[in-house]
């Protein structure tokens, strides 16, 4: 191999490592590792026209940018009370929304005002009627005035929860790193499809069980073990031993840990809730959104791997040498991903121990 060819291969390897480092840098915020929660607002009817307004700001929003949430068409009965906790800022206030005809909450709107600017956070508004009916609406980051939701149609609920599922998986960096490790370990396209399918079926089962409250598991320990599952796959990459169970049967690992990741997906639905009248549509749409985002990420990862292999071949390395160079990247990738996942594990453990 000529010196020039070696220099080109070294440069391409360095660029590949730079991509890995940049990807790691994008996800070094522990609070954002599993954070795609919207601003959650709950409006609840009480007796004599009194309305309770409560809101929870996700941890991704800085305390200095905590939004002010009001019902401008109603009369405030108490000052806004806010408190800062590990799950974000929580606020509440009481209002009198009785109209002239004695009907509460008639054509009212919720107003949201961020002191600085909305950091691309969606809003989930939930209305609890005194009759027991529950309605919800998902609003985009640009919407600052949101009308109280009426009875939702199946199509509207499906669209809203589909978008919420896509947003959750694309900002759930721990899940994406786990899937990326599965892609690297799977190797061939056929094994990759089988492995990802096993992961999908497994987390779909536990997502449904947890969302329907048929199975209840505390969220903090689940998120800690999810980080530990990434450490496990990263260790397999760093060892580069093709004779282990993980390398020989990756679907066994993906399906087993997929059951665990499903509880992590369900934690979002557990916090924002499911619309009472359209639970099946919301659950199916959210899961479909998760799968759409996951498929998009897998396609992007495969395209990146093929692009790197093509560049090495274009530099004159040849297919066998390009494959060896790609395998040599497995160990540094395992160390980088494992270090980050171990940090997440310790950080999450410290949050409840």
In tens, the pLDDT along 123-174 reads 888 888 887 777 778 788 889 999 888 766 778 788 888 988 888 888 888 8
Name the more confident of 74 and 15.
Answer: 74
What is the DSSP pairing of strand 50-56 with strand 39-45? antiparallel
pLDDT (tens digit per residue) in 173-218:
888 999 988 988 887 788 888 999 999 999 999 998 988 888 888 8
Whether the predicted pLDDT of 327 surpasses 80: no
Name the more confident of 181 and 9.
Answer: 181
* Phi then psi dihedrals of residue 100, to 5 deg: -60, -35
Burial of 289-305, coded b for 16+ CB within 10 Å and e otherwise, reads bbbbbbeebbeebeeee
pLDDT (tens digit per residue) in 333-345:
888 899 999 999 9
Name the more confident of 101 and 268.
Answer: 268
Name the more confident of 229 and 11.
Answer: 229
Instruction: Please name each of the domains of the chain with its CATH number.
Output: 3-32+165-350 (no CATH), 39-151 (2.60.40)
Q: What is the pLDDT of residue 190?
A: 86
Q: What is the pLDDT of residue 31?
A: 41
Give mean pLDDT, residues 231-240: 87
**Separation of alpha carbons 164 and 166, rounded Å:** 6
Query: Helix 279-314 vs helix 3-26: angle between axes, to the nearest 10 degrees?
Result: 160
């Amino acid at each position: 191999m000529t010196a020039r060819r070696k220099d080109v291969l070294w440069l391409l390897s360095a660029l590949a490592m730079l991509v890995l480092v940049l990807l790691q840098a994008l996800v070094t915020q522990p609070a954002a590792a599993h954070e795609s929660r919207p601003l959650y607002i709950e409006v609840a009817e009480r007796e004599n026209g009194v309305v309770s307004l409560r809101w929870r700001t996700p941890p991704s929003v800085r305390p200095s940018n905590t939004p002010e949430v009001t019902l401008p068409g109603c009369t405030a009965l108490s000052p806004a009370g806010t408190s800062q906790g590990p799950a974000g800022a929580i606020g509440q206030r009481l209002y009198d929304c009785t109209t002239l005809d004695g009907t509460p909450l008639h054509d009212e709107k919720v107003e949201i005002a961020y002191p600085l600017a909305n950091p691309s956070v969606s809003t989930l508004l939930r209305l609890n009627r005194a009759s027991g009916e529950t309605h919800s609406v998902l609003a985009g980051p640009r919407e600052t005035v949101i009308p109280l939701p009426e009875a939702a149609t199946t199509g509207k609920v499906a669209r809203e929860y589909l978008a919420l599922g896509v947003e959750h998986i694309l900002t759930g960096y721990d899940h994406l790193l786990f899937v990326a490790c599965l892609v690297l370990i799977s190797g061939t396209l056929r094994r990759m499809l089988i492995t990802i399918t096993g992961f999908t079926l497994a987390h779909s089962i536990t997502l449904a069980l947890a969302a329907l409250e048929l199975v209840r598991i505390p969220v903090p320990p689940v998120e800690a073990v999810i980080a530990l599952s990434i450490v496990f796959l990263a260790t397999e990459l760093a060892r580069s031993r093709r004779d282990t169970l993980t390398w020989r049967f990756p679907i066994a690992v993906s399906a087993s840990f997929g059951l665990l990741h499903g509880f992590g997906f369900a934690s979002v639905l557990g916090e924002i809730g499911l619309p009472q009248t359209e639970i099946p549509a919301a659950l199916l749409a959210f899961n479909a959104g998760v799968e759409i985002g996951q498929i998009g990420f897998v396609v992007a990862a495969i395209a990146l791997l093929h692009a790197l292999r093509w560049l090495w071949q274009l530099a004159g390395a040849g297919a066998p040498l390009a494959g060896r160079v790609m395998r040599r990247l497995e160990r540094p990738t395992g160390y980088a991903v494992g270090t980050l996942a171990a940090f997440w594990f310790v950080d999450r453990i410290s949050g409840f121990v």
